[in-house]
């Protein structure tokens, strides 16, 4: 890859370190998109042994790039996102993909196509891990950072996606139980 193209792309996506998500960290600061994407990729790496039949390198790449478009659009919480917002995000992805050429351009294009189609097992695992990371992060944050609707979302969000695999189904159940336990503590 040509040096100027490399640096141009790096400068474009650096904004992910500034763009905050709706979630809060355990230390009381807004989580940023880059931290979320990094942790989703780490989760994929951690569960690789549970998914030997999948191309986990591809899953990790999907986890790393899935929110690149938010360097342009910023983050919109899933419970507020509309179909129009999703179209804007896809256009932002395309805008970033078109900043690079060659093999990296083709790889990004293929990975985003796979993510957007959501037909492969690899894409389904990425999506499940993406949702689980958000739930885990909410459980790590203080309850005072939760919106009222998030009490229900902690019990329902990502359930359907996590049904695709036995391991993620069990993990989702454990995260749900952690949410229930956290909410019970609030009542004490």
Over residues 67-87, the pLDDT tens digits come to 999 988 878 777 777 888 888
Report phi then psi at 30, rounded to 5.
-65, 135
Q: Looking at residue 187, what is its pLDDT?
A: 66
Over residues 135-156, the pLDDT tens digits come to 999 999 999 999 889 999 999 9
Domain covering 3-186: architecture: Orthogonal Bundle (1.10)
pLDDT band at 111; cut points 50, 70, 90: very high
Q: Is residue 23 within a helix (H) or strand (E), and if so which, with residue range?
A: strand 20-24
Pairwise CA distance, residues 68 & 82, whole Å: 18
Helices 56-65 and 33-46: crossing angle in degrees, nearest 10, is 170
Whole-number mean pLDDT of the chain?
Answer: 93
Over residues 179-188, the pLDDT tens digits come to 999 999 876 4
Over residues 5-42, the pLDDT tens digits come to 999 999 999 999 999 998 999 998 999 999 999 999 99
Residues 6 or more apart whose CB falls under 8 angstroms from that of 167 comprise: 47, 50, 51
């Amino acid at each position: 890859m040509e040096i100027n193209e490399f640096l141009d792309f790096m400068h474009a996506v650096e904004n992910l370190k500034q763009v905050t998500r709706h979630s809060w960290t355990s230390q009381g600061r807004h989580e940023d998109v880059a931290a979320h994407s990094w942790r989703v990729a780490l989760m994929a790496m951690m569960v690789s042994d549970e998914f030997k039949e999948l191309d986990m390198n591809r899953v990790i790449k999907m986890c790393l790039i899935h929110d690149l478009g938010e360097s342009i659009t910023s983050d919109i919480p899933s419970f507020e996102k509309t179909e129009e917002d999703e179209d804007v995000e896809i256009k932002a992805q395309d805008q970033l993909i078109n900043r690079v050429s060659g093999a990296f351009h083709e790889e990004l294009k293929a990975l985003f196509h796979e993510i957007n189609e959501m037909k492969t097992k690899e894409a389904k695992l990425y999506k499940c891990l993406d949702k689980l990371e958000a739930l885990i992060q909410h459980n790590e944050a203080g309850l005072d950072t939760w919106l009222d609707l998030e009490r229900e979302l902690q019990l329902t969000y990502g359930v359907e996606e996590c049904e695709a695999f036995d391991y993620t189904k069990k993990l989702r159940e454990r995260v749900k139980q952690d949410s229930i336990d956290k909410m019970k503590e609030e009542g004490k």
